[in-house]
Amino acid sequence: MTKIKRVIDANVNRASEGLRVVEDVCRFILDNDNLTRRLKDIRHRLRDSSCLWSTETDKLCKSRDAKSDVGRYSNTESEIKRNDVFDIVSANLKRTEEAIRVLEEFTKLKDINVALTFQEDRYNLYEIEKEILAALDDK
């Protein structure tokens, strides 16, 4: 179970971080309250859902092993270079969508209703992505 919790912990963090980056673009660059709020709602729902795998005494972060993570230094060139805000948003949304997909699959082991919530959030992100990229095109 510890290895599965590592997967959950990594993907909750990955999705939350990606959402925060995009949320800040919507908030500070696009000045779009609606998009900011929708992303924040998904980010908070994601954090709340991670409690399915964690208790007060058995936190997900206990399973974390960042120091010896075999993928820690496996960055590709596209991961370390950004040309503009459009690239930042695109990369972080893809990262988030992929992480939520992983959470959706692994959560099926515990609670199908939570897995379906992840699925719904992932599809909502596809629509939000389209709106954000269109808004960036207009700037």
pLDDT tens for 89-111 read 999 999 999 999 999 999 999 99
Q: Is the dihedral of CA 85, 136, 90, 48 positive or negative?
A: positive
Going from N- to C-terminal start, the domains of the chain cover: 2-61+82-138
According to the model, what pLDDT value does residue 1 have? Answer: 65
Smallest CA-to-CA distance from 128 within 26, 54, 59 is with 26
Q: Which amino acid is at 31?
A: D
Residue 6's pLDDT band, with cuts at 50, 70 and 90, is confident
Smallest CA-to-CA distance from 25 within 39, 15, 12, 42 is with 39
> Which residue has better confidence, 17 or 138?
17
Give the pLDDT confidence of 122-135 residue by residue, as tens digits. 999 999 999 999 99
Q: How many CB atoms lie within 10 A of CB 127?
A: 10
Q: How many CB atoms lie within 10 A of CB 120?
A: 14
Cα angle 50, 51, 56; round to 5: 135
pTM of the model: 0.85
Give the pLDDT confidence of 30-65 residue by residue, as tens digits. 999 999 999 999 999 998 887 777 765 566 666 666
| Cβ proximity of 70 and 22 under 8 Å | no
As to burial, measured by CB atoms within 10 angstroms (0-12 exposed, 13-18 middle, 19+ buried), residue 43 is buried
